[in-house]
Amino acid sequence: MSTTYALELKDVRKNFGKTEIIRGVNLAVEPGERVAVIGPNGAGKSTLFNLISGRFGPTSGDILLNGQRIQHKTPYEINRMGLARSFQITNIFPKLSVFENLRCAVLWSLGYKYTFFKFLSGLKDANERADQLLEMIRLDKKRDILAMNLTYAEQRALEIGVTIAGGADVILLDEPTAGMSKSETSRFIHLIKEVTVGKTLLTVEHDMGVVFGLADKIAVVVYGEVIAFDTPEAVRANAKVQEAYLGSSVADSQAGGH
C-alpha cells in the first residue's frame, strides 16, 4: 500500500540552452511534512520552485501533485489544483490596498471566478476570509494602506498572506526571510509555523538556525541534484553534505544549537 505523496519529483531535468541546471532531481514529500530546501547559491533551488509551480516546464521528468501530473501545466492550473508559492522578490499588487491584495487572492478558491455580476462588498465569505488572513499575518492595522507603502518586512508578510490565501495544501516559500533582521526573522518563522499548520511546506532557506528549527526534513540541493533528503540530524551528519556544502555554516549551527 503506497501513500500518495503530496509532492513528488521523478528524475526532473531542466536545460537552459545547452546548460543543465537541474540534473535529475528525485524527491517525495509526504502530506503535512515541512521540508527545508537548502544548498549553495546557484544550485537550482529557485529553478526547482519555478518548475514545480509552473513558471516553466521541465525538459524531462515528472512532477506530481497529490498523484497528478502537473509538469507543463500553467501556473493557474497548478494553483487551482492546490499548490501556492511565494516569491523571493516581493511580488504583490502595489497599487491595491493590503486588504484588496488578500481579497483578490481568495477569490478564485471561493468560486468567484470571472464574475462581474456581484459586488465585492457583498461577498461575505471573501471579506471575512481576507480579514482573517489580515489578522493572521498581523497587518490588521495596515488594512487600507497601499501595498507599495508598506515596509519591507510588512510586504514579505503580505507576500505570505497572498500565498496561503487560496487555501492551497502545498505551499512553496522562496526565501521568505530574505533581507530581514534577526529579530524580524524569528518573528516571521513563528508566523510561518502558525499559518501553515496542517499544510505541506517547502521552503528555500539560507539561515541554518531557521532551517533546523522549522523543518521536519531537509533537502540539500547541489549542482541541480538532491544529494540528501532526511531529518535534520541525519543531514547534519551526512558526509556528502558536509563535503559539498559550505561546511562552516553547518558546523556553526551544530555548535550554536537553538
Partner 1 sequence: MAAVYKFKPYNVGRWIIWSAFAGILLMAPLVFTSNLSTTMLAQMGIAIIACLSYNMLLGQGGMLSFGHAVYTGLGSYMAIHALNAVSGGKLHIPVSVLPIVGGLSGMGFAVLLGWVTTRKSGTPFAMITLGVAELVFAMSLMFSEFFGGEAGVSGNRVAGEAFFGITYGPQIQVYYLIAAYTFVCVALMYAFTQTPLGRILNAVRDNPERVEFIGYNTQRVRYIAFIIAGFFAGIAGGLGALNFEIVTAEVVGAGRSGAYLLFTFLGGATFFFGPIIGAILMIIAFVLLSELTKAWLLYLGLIFLFMVMYAPGGIASLIMMNLRVAKFGKLRQIWTSYLGLGLTAFVMLAGAGAMIEMVYHLQLNSALGDTVKFMGATLNAKGLDSWFGCAFVMLTGLGLFELSRRQYMTEWGEIQTEIEKEIKRRETAV
Distance CA 33, CA 231 (A): 11
Cβ nearer to partner 1, comparing 108 with 223: 108
Q: What is the Cα–Cα distance from 231 to 216, expressed in whole angstroms?
A: 6
Q: Which stretch binds partner 1 (CB under 8 A): 75-83, 173-181, 198-206, 215-223?
A: 75-83
Binding mask 186-225 for partner 1 (x = CB under 8 A): ----------------------------------------
User: Nearest Cα to 59, choosing from 20, 13, 18, 100?
Assistant: 13
User: Measured from the CB atom, is 18 or 95 closer to partner 1?
Assistant: 95
- Of 105, 219, 226, 244, the residue at the interface with partner 1 (CB under 8 A) is 105
Name the DSSP class of 153: H
For the chain, count helices (H), then strands (E): 10, 10
Half-sphere exposure of residue 140: CA atoms within 13 angstroms, side-chain side:
8
Q: How many residues bind partner 1 (CB under 8 A)?
A: 43
Establish if 23 lies at the interface with partner 1 (CB under 8 A): no
Distance CA 145, CA 143 (A): 6
Question: In this complex, which beta carbon is closest to partner 1, that of residue 43 or of residue 164?
Answer: 164
Rounded to the nearest whole angstrom, what is the least distance from the CB of residue 105 to partner 1 in the complex? 5
* Among candidate residues 22, 37, 20, the one with its CA nearest the CA of residue 71: 22
Q: List all residues 6 or more positions away from 204 whose beta carbon is below 8 Å from its beta carbon.
A: 36, 37, 38, 45, 46, 49, 88, 173, 174, 175
Find the binding residues for partner 1 in span 112-151 (CB under 8 A). Answer: 112-121, 123, 126, 140-145
Helix (H, G, I), strand (E, B) or coil at 171: strand
Closer residue to partner 1, CB minimum distance, 86 or 185: 86
Residue whose CB is less far from partner 1, 84 or 226? 84
- Least separation in angstroms between residue 130's CB and partner 1 is 11
Which of 25, 37, 48, 92: binder of partner 1 (CB under 8 A)? 92
- CB of residue 248 vs partner 1: minimum separation in angstroms? 35
C-alpha dihedral, 202 to 206 to 209 to 213, nearest 10°: 0
Q: Which residues are at the interface with partner 1 (CB under 8 A)? A: 53, 74-76, 79-80, 84-85, 87, 91-96, 100, 103-105, 107-109, 112-121, 123, 126, 140-145, 162, 165-166
